[in-house]
Chain A
Amino acid sequence: MASRNRFFVKEVGIGLLFIVVIVSLIGAITGCARAPQQKQADVVIWHWMTDRKNAFSELAARYEQETGRKVEFKLFAPSGVYTQKIQAATQAGTLPDIFGVLGEKEGFAIFIKSGHILNLDDAMQANNNEWQDKFFSKALIVNKFEKHNEFDVPPGIYGVPLDVSNIQMLYNKDLFRQAGLDPENQPRTFDEFIDAAKKLKQAGIQGLVSGWAETWMINCLASNFAFNIMGERKVMDTFRGKVPYTDADWIEVFNLFKRMADEGVLAKGIVAMNNKDAEQNFANGRAAFAFNGSWCVNVYKGMDPNLNYTAMFVPRASQRYPLLIWGGAGSSLMINARSKNQEQALAFLQWLTDDAQQAYLAEATNNLPANKNSLENISPILAQFAQSMENTTHPNIWPVHEKGPVVEAFNVGLQSVILGTKTPEQVAEEIQEVKVREMAKN
C-alpha cells in the first residue's frame, strides 16, 4: 500500500512537473517572460496603411523629439487582416489607444454603440471650432453622425480624418496620341467616352481597366451613373423600397455596363481583376483609361514615375441630374473610448492633423490632405483630384443605406451583365427579388 502511494505521488509529481514545463515554454514563446524593453509607448496606434508606414514612423520620431512622448504605429496589412485584428481586439478588450474602422458607416456605428469610440465634439469645437475648421467639410462629414440618424448613434464627431480621396477616371496621354486622339480634349459624355475607347481599340489599345473583382468599385461607378440618371432622391427611394430596381432608370444604368462590354471598351479579364493588377496594367500602358481613387497617384509613381496621365471626371451619361463621384475622408483614426491614454491620444491626433504635419504627409505619400491649409505643395495631378472634391458624395453620408445582400446581388448582377451571362432586365429582376426578401425581414 505504501509503495503504491509512493508510486502515485511520484507519478502525479511528474505530471505536475510536465504541466509546469509546458506552461513555462508557452509563456516563453508568447513573450510572458519579457526581456528588458525600451521605453513603453505613451500612445499606440494600429493602422493598415502600408504606403504611409515610413511617413508615420518619421512623424512619430518628430513628435517624440518635440514633446518627449513616444508614439508607436503598428501596421497590420492588408486591410482584411487589419479588420479581423480589430474585430478580435474588440472581443478581447485589447483595442489600442488609436485605431481606424474600415468599411461602411453601419459598421462604424456598431463600434460607437458598443462603446469603443470616443466622441470628439468637445475637442473639435474648443476655441471656437479651431480644430474642426481645419478640415475639408467632406472629410469631416463621414466621421459625423447627425441628430436622428438611422443608426441611433448619439450625434457628434467620432473620427479624425487624415486625408481625403475621391474616385475618378484617368487616362494615359501617350496612348491617346498613339490612337490619334487629342490628349487635351478629354471625353465628357458617355458617348464620347465610348467613341474614344473604340478608336483606342482600333489602334490595338485596351480601353478601361479597373479592379472590378473588388465589387465595391463596380458599385461605385454604377452609383455615379445612377445619381446622374435618376438623381439622389430616387436612388435613396430605391434603398427605402419605394422604387423597384426594375425601374427603367435602373435598367438604363445596367445598360451602360452592357454597352461598355458589347463595344469592347473594357479590359480583358476585368471581372476577375483586383485593383492592384488593374493599377499595374494602367501603369504599364496596357490600358488607356483607369477608374481609380486618388491614392493611385502614389501607386503609379511607385510603378512608373514617368507615366504620362491625367485625371478626368467620370463621363456624364445623362443631362438630367448632376453627376456625383464617390469621395470624402480617405482614412480616419478614432480614439478608443476605454483607453487610459485618451488625453495623450487626442493631443497626438491634433498635432498629426496640424498644417505642417499634414503638408509633410501629403508630400511624402501623395495623398490629398484632410487639412485644407496644407494643399500648397501637392502635385498637379493631386490638385486635379482636389478640384473635384466639391462634386463628391459617399455612401457614408447618405441618409439611408442599402442592405448587404441587396448590394451583393447588385454587384454580382453587374458582373454578369459585363460577362454577358445575364441581361440588364434579368439582373434587375434578381436584385428586386432579393430586395423584397430583405424588406420582408423588417
Chain B
Amino acid sequence: MKFQKSTLENYLFILPAVVIFSIFYIYPFYETFNLSLHNWNGISASRVFVGLRNFKEVFFQDRHWWPAMGHAGYITLIALTFQNALALILAMACDRQIRLGKFYRLVFFIPPVLSEVVVALIWKWIFEPNYGLLNFWLANLGLHNLAREWLSRPETALSCVALIHSWKGFGWGFIILLAGLQTIPQQLYEAARVDGANSWRRFRHVTIPLMIPVFVLVSILTILGSMQAFVLVYQMTAATPALGTTVPVTRILNAMREVQPPRFGFACAQGVVFGLILVILSFLQLRLSKKMRQA
C-alpha cells in the first residue's frame, strides 16, 4: 500500500512533463510519420493511404532530393572545417591575456546574433553582379577577370552561401570552444612546459585530448545547424535546383508550397528521412568521439 502511494506520487509529479512532452513532441512526430504514409493536399478532410510510396519516391524517384542532401553536406563540410577552425583559432587567441580581449569576444559574437534575413540581404548586395561591392573592389584592384555573377552561377553560388553560413555561425563555436579552453587547468600547461613541451606539443597532448568533448559538442551542433541551413540559401539564391543550391529543407518547403496541389504527405516523408539521417549522423559522431577518447 505504502509502495503504491509513493509510486502514485512519483507519477503525479512527472505527469505535467509527460503531458507536455507528449503534446509537443510525441504527437507531432507521430502525426508527421502518419502523414508521410498518406497523400494529402493540406485542405481536404480526407487523406489517401499510400503506404511507403512517398518514401519510395524520396529515395528513388525525386531527382532533386539526393543532390539537395549533397549540397547541405557541402555546406556542413565547409562549416566543420573552415568555420570551426576559425572559431578554434580565435578562441585560442582570446584565451590568452591579450589587449581588448573582451572587445574581440563581443565582435566575434555579432554575426550569430544578427538576423539571417538581414545577413542574407547584406551579402546579396555585396555579391550583386552589377553594382555589388565585391565586383567593384575587384575592378578597382585591376582584377576584372575575377568579377562574376557570384550568386547566380552554379560554379560559385553554393560556395558563396557556404562561406557566408560559416561567417554567420563561427561565433557559436567560438564561445563554446573558449569556455572549454578556460576549463583546462593552467597547471597542466605549466607541468608540460617544465617537461620541455613546446607550444605544438602542449596543444597536441594537453589541449586536444581535454577538448574532445567540447569538439564533439561543437561538431554535432555544426552538423545539425548546417544540414538544416535554409534562410541564407533561400534568400541569397532562391535555392533553385538549376543553380545547385537547393537543400533538403527547401525541398520539403517546395513540396508543401510550390507544387500544385500541395503534397503534405510527400513533404512529411522527406522530413522523416531527413530527420533519420540527422539522427544517424549524430550517433556516428558520438561513437567516433568515444573511440577517439579511448585512443
Contacts and interface: CB of A to CB of B under 8 A. Distances in A.
A107 B131 CA distance: 40
A379 interface: no
A332 to B, nearest CB: 17
A12 B242 contact: no
B242 A419 contact: yes
B260 A412 contact: no
A106 B157 contact: no
Contacts of A416: 242
Given A111-B43, A272-B243, A11 B9 contact: yes
Given A8-B5, A412-B241, A106 B260 contact: yes
Task: Report whether over half of chain B's contact residues are helix, strand or loop; otherwise say mixed.
Answer: loop
A110 B43 contact: yes
A116 interface: yes
A415 B45 CA distance: 36
A419 B5 CA distance: 72
A130 to B, nearest CB: 32
A116 B259 CA distance: 21
A42 interface: no
Contacts of B5: 4, 8
A108 to B, nearest CB: 10
A434 B61 CA distance: 9
Contacts of A413: 242
Interface string A105-140: 011001101101000000000000000000000000
Contact of A269 (B152, B154, B241): B152
Contact of A271 (B63, B131, B152, B254): B152
A419 B152 CA distance: 8
A273 B261 contact: no
B68 to A, nearest CB: 12
Contacts of A419: 152-154, 242-243
Nearest to B46: A114
Among B131, B152, B243: residue with most chain A CB under 10 A? B152
Contacts of A4: 5
B149 A19 contact: no
A428 to B, nearest CB: 15
Interface residues of A, number: 46
A27 interface: no
A404 interface: yes
A349 interface: no
A270 interface: yes
B238 A286 contact: no
A268 B152 contact: yes
Contact of B242 (A18, A87, A412): A412
Contacts of A430: 63
Given A404-B260, A407-B260, A15 B12 contact: yes
Contacts of B237: 213, 272
Contacts of A421: 154, 242
A270 B16 contact: no
A238 B28 CA distance: 41
A274 interface: yes
Interface string A406-442: 0110001101100101000000001000100100000
Contact of A80 (B9, B44, B154, B257): B257
A408 B259 contact: yes
B275 interface: no
B262 A107 contact: yes
B79 interface: no
A370 B145 CA distance: 52
Nearest to B246: A412
Interface in A241-271: 268-271
The list of the 6 closest CB pairs from A to B, nearest first, reads A213-B238, A415-B242, A404-B259, A269-B152, A272-B152, A268-B129
28 contacts: A12-B12, A87-B43, A103-B260, A107-B41, A107-B43, A110-B43, A114-B43, A114-B44, A213-B237, A213-B238, A214-B238, A215-B258, A271-B152, A271-B242, A271-B243, A272-B237, A272-B238, A273-B152, A273-B238, A286-B130, A404-B259, A407-B260, A412-B64, A412-B242, A419-B242, A421-B154, A421-B242, A437-B61
